[in-house]
């Protein structure tokens, strides 16, 4: 695809297609990042929680050593919940692991703080096995955002945003925010269009980045009948249809793979016409009407995040 980009609300441009690095096995991330950048990817999505920022960093280092310029690559990473009350520390740890002086986009990964002094750096648990959370009255996602805002102007971030924010949480945050989030990164595919969030964010100047566009582990969306139908009509693959669907909606999209052939194939973005989009929109509406929308990524926080399909 051409180097399509979207302008964020602070003027920074985000590439439409990014390489995701979640659930990539140890030893594979470095190669996939290096390869993706070598064939023209401009956007790499990482997170402290994934436990592989050092490998992402090594892939970036190899790419920069080959002549690719840092300023031409957009790097996203995310603040993990155990650092929601220690934002500067969380960012510094990510920058060190990535081998970078700055990231282009820093996101609050989930709007729920976890115990910073718990029994694990990433997933502290209580004796009953549930996640060790910090009560909202002790530390809230709004306080985390105010700490995120302090990063702007430090030279360590080009933009800040959120992830996994529902309408409810956005409505709590925005009246208290000095800086409107540049991005809300959410799960998005025809089985979970989250149209109410997409429309609201658009009205507020918040860009949507879609993750798990194929439906997360096992890529279940590849076999959805309407997706297959559109792919056959256009003589392309279901994966291309799903990635193109997000971009047709004005969202950037993350394609996760460690397979070189798939990484390259995911660059093929096509134009879906009105009839193609209608086929997929009708499918989404049918699922919503029958209560069969499917969210594939919903960690066991034991918190109601305000998503209609989960509340």
Q: How far apart are CA 162 and CA 98, in angstroms?
A: 20
Angle, alpha carbons 223-22-79 (nearest 5°):
135
Q: Active-site residue numbers?
A: 50
Question: Which residue in 302, 81, 296 sits closest to 188, CA to CA?
Answer: 296
Bridge partners for 157 per DSSP:
103
Dmax (CA) for the chain in angstroms is 54
For every residue of the chain, DSSP letters joined together read: ----EEE-TTS-EEESEEEE-TTPPTTTHHHHHHHHHHTT--EEE--GGGT-HHHHHHHHHHHHHTT--GGG-EEEEEE-GGGTT-HHHHHHHHHHHHT-S-BSEEEESSS--B-TTSSSSS--B-TTSSB-BPPTTTS-HHHHHHHHHTTTTTTSBS-EEEES--HHHHHHHGGG-SS--SEEEEE-BTTB--HHHHHHHHHHTPEEEEE-TT-STT-GGGG-HHHHHHHHHTTS-HHHHHHHHHHHTT-EEEEE---HHHHHHTT------HHHHHHHHHHHHHHHHTT--------S-------TTT-
178 vs 11, 55, 147, CA distance in Å? Answer: 17, 34, 11
The three-point CA angle 33-76-8 to 5° equals 130
């Amino acid at each position: 695809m051409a180097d399509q980009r979207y302008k964020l609300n602070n003027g920074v441009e985000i590439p439409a297609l990014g390489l995701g690095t979640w659930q990539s096995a140890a030893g594979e991330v470095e190669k996939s990042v290096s390869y993706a950048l070598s064939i023209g990817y401009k956007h790499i999505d990482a997170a402290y929680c994934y436990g592989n920022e050092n490998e992402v960093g090594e892939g970036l280092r190899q790419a920069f050593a080959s002549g690719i310029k840092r300023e031409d690559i957009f790097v996203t990473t995310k603040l993990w919940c155990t650092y929601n009350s220690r934002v500067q520390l969380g960012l510094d740890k990510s920058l060190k692991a990535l081998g970078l002086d700055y990231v282009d986009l820093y996101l609050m990964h989930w709007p729920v703080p976890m115990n910073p002094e718990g029994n694990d750096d990433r997933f502290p648990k209580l004796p009953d096995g549930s996640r060790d959370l910090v009560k909202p009255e002790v530390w809230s996602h709004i306080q985390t955002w105010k700490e995120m805002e302090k990063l702007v102007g430090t030279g360590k971030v080009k933009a800040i945003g959120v992830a996994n924010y529902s309408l409810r949480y956005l409505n709590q945050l925005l009246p208290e925010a000095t800086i409107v989030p540049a991005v809300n990164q959410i799960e998005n595919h025809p089985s979970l269009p989250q149209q109410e969030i997409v429309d609201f964010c658009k009205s507020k100047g918040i860009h949507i980045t879609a993750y798990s566009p194929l439906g997360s582990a096992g890529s279940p969306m590849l076999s959805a009948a309407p997706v297959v139908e559109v792919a056959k009509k256009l003589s392309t693959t279901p994966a291309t249809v799903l990635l193109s669907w997000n971009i047709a909606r004005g969202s950037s999209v993350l394609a996760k793979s460690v397979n070189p052939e798939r990484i390259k194939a995911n660059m093929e973005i096509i134009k879906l016409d009105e009839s193609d989009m209608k086929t997929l929109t009708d499918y989404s509406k049918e699922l919503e009407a029958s209560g069969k929308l499917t969210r594939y990524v919903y960690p066991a926080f034991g918190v109601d995040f305000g998503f209609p399909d989960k509340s």
